[in-house]
Copies of this chain bind each other. A is one copy, B any other.
């Protein structure tokens, strides 16, 4: 919005943005996989939307996002399975006003205690990322799951 922001945007190369986005997802997914949901939810904007294949309707806002994440973490803890989310094959499209449109393939892998890893899900993730200060945040995330009927 401000002149300073525009200047910064102009100076950021595609390589800068691409590295930043890859790093963002590596950290965001790690926080979720560790059950650090308070930190994870901060990677969304305050009014961020998460539209996953598993929910009947999109979940909006950090307050609701964290409730869902806590429940998912508790359920997994009960099963003893370690989940890992990997966002890979990341396609970054820079848009006006430093908004980023991202598409990626997500692998969800689960390893039961004492067991072998299992590829649980392949999803396509469509994110709208915005910049708040120096940090990227998810404003909108839509996830589709392969194989869903």
Q: Using a CB–CB distance below 8 Å, which chain A residues touch chain B?
A: 13-16, 18-20, 22-23, 25-27, 29-30, 82, 84, 86-92, 103-105, 107, 109, 111-122, 146-149
Say yes or no: A146-B117 contact (C-beta < 8 A), given A19-B14, A103-B30: yes
Q: Main SS of the interface on chain A? A: mixed
Say yes or no: A122-B147 contact (C-beta < 8 A), given A14-B19, A87-B89, A92-B23: no
In the complex, A54 Cα to B147 Cα: how many Å? Answer: 25
Closest Cβ neighbor of A12 among chain B residues: B15
> A15: which of B16, B82, B107, B116 is its contact (CB, 8 Å)?
B16
In the complex, A149 Cα to B80 Cα: how many Å? Answer: 10
B-chain residues with CB within 8 Å of residue A113 when the two chains form the complex: 147, 149
> A14: which of B20, B25, B111, B114 is its contact (CB, 8 Å)?
B20
Please state if B22 and A147 are interface contacts (CB–CB under 8 Å): no
17 A-B residue pairs with CB within 8 Å: A13-B16, A15-B15, A15-B16, A22-B90, A23-B91, A26-B104, A29-B89, A30-B103, A82-B147, A84-B122, A86-B105, A88-B88, A114-B147, A117-B121, A117-B122, A117-B147, A118-B119
